[in-house]
Amino acid sequence: MSAKGRTHPCALLLTSGTPWLGQSCPNTFLQAHDRPCYMIFFETPVGKGISRAMLSWYNPFMSSWVLLVAGLILLAPAPQKEETRMQSGKKRLLVVTHTAGFRHGDSIELGEKILAQIGERSGVFEVDYCRDASEVQKMLTPQFLDEGKYDGVIFLNTTGDIGVPDLQGFLDWIKTGKAFIGIHAAADTYHNRKEYLEMIQGEFAYHGRQTKVEAKVERPDHPAVAHLAPVWVVFDEIYLFKENNRKNVTVLLSMDRHPDDGTPNAGKEGDYLLAWCRDYGQGRVFYTALGHRLDVWESPEYQR
């Protein structure tokens, strides 16, 4: 086998020299190194590295989540306890769906199910849920997350001030080497907390009518979008943000014109971000503006 190395921003996070033999793609071996983070992909009969080994079961949106978890979490150090999980190799994610503003009820319910299905089918991760204010108070603390051996947290269409008891403590927990994944309305959360907005690097401003857009893949080498065509045509509710934070993130998906959504800027040329990732201390952050419509999650036309 021949080795080929390439840089993957936002996929670092690893203990130096820690190998992983992919459970879901056993012919793939990745070797993690210190910062700056590199992954060496070895050619195998199934193709180059992780991005070709896990794609056959899901539509493009779903596939990206398996690869995203692999890139952000899978190579993190294994927990020191919980023998069963150590043997299975699964990582553990807490999916937060509590809302203190508008509630995307249908997409939250479907998103919970699909994330669980992806984890089960891929063998990469398992999920627990944090669904209401009392559970947020109990579960979104560094102590609970550490005791539960969580590797990351997903904010699935959260909105408003969801009541994390110690928000800075929670953000500091992410910085220790954990993963934060924000979906759609995660950018419509904690508008009044600069520390949260600095972490996620996107604050929802407005959206118009749902519409079709051409999402450009800016980093085809990144596992979250490697499976997509150079331009992905998708119909969804498209968020626009108060600031363009391109300089602070690695942009994965963008648009070169404003969505045709009935708002005053419709069709205007510009730089509009849809998905990105970034380092956050020793942790990793990923955000996607997509994930409002049910068919973005499940439509057969996106199946592979």
Query: Is it true that the peptide bond before 45 is cis, omega within 30 degrees of 0?
Result: no
The domain that holds 201 is classified in CATH as 3.40.50.880
Residues 65 and 8 placed together within one structural domain of the fold: no
* Cα 64 from Cα 68, distance rounded (Å): 6
Q: Which residues, 6 or more positions from 16, have their beta carbon under 8 angstroms from its beta carbon?
A: 32, 33, 34
Residues 31 and 140 placed together within one structural domain of the fold: no
What 3-state DSSP class applies to 5? strand
* Cα 3 from Cα 90, distance rounded (Å): 26
**What digits encode the pLDDT tens for the residues 39-73?**
322 223 333 333 333 333 334 444 455 556 655 65
Residues 96 and 228 placed together within one structural domain of the fold: yes
Mean pLDDT computed over every residue of the chain:
77
* Cα 96 from Cα 99, distance rounded (Å): 9
Report the domain count for the chain: 2
Residues 133 and 253 placed together within one structural domain of the fold: yes
Q: Which residues, 6 or more positions from 26, have their beta carbon under 8 angstroms from its beta carbon?
A: none
The pLDDT score that the predictor gives to residue 110 is: 94
In the numeric block, the tokens 């060496």 are attached to 40
Residues 15 and 158 placed together within one structural domain of the fold: no
The pLDDT score that the predictor gives to residue 70 is: 57
Residues 14 and 27 placed together within one structural domain of the fold: yes
Residues 86 and 99 placed together within one structural domain of the fold: yes
Full-model pTM = 0.77
Does residue 296 surpass a pLDDT of 60? yes
The pLDDT score that the predictor gives to residue 12 is: 30
Q: What is the domain range of residue 69? A: 55-302
Mean pLDDT along residues 261-290: 96
* Cα 215 from Cα 83, distance rounded (Å): 42
Mean pLDDT along residues 77-93: 58
Residue in 64, 65, 141 with CA at minimum distance from that of residue 96: 141
The pLDDT score that the predictor gives to residue 64 is: 55
Q: Which residues, 6 or more positions from 18, have their beta carbon under 8 angstroms from its beta carbon?
A: 32, 75, 77
Residues 113 and 27 placed together within one structural domain of the fold: no
Residues 46 and 141 placed together within one structural domain of the fold: no
**What digits encode the pLDDT tens for the residues 142-177?**
999 999 999 999 999 999 999 999 999 999 999 999
Number of helical H runs and strand E runs in the chain? 8, 16
The pLDDT score that the predictor gives to residue 151 is: 96
Residues 252 and 277 placed together within one structural domain of the fold: yes
List helix spans (H) across the chain.
60-69, 83-88, 105-122, 133-139, 142-147, 167-175, 194-200, 294-298
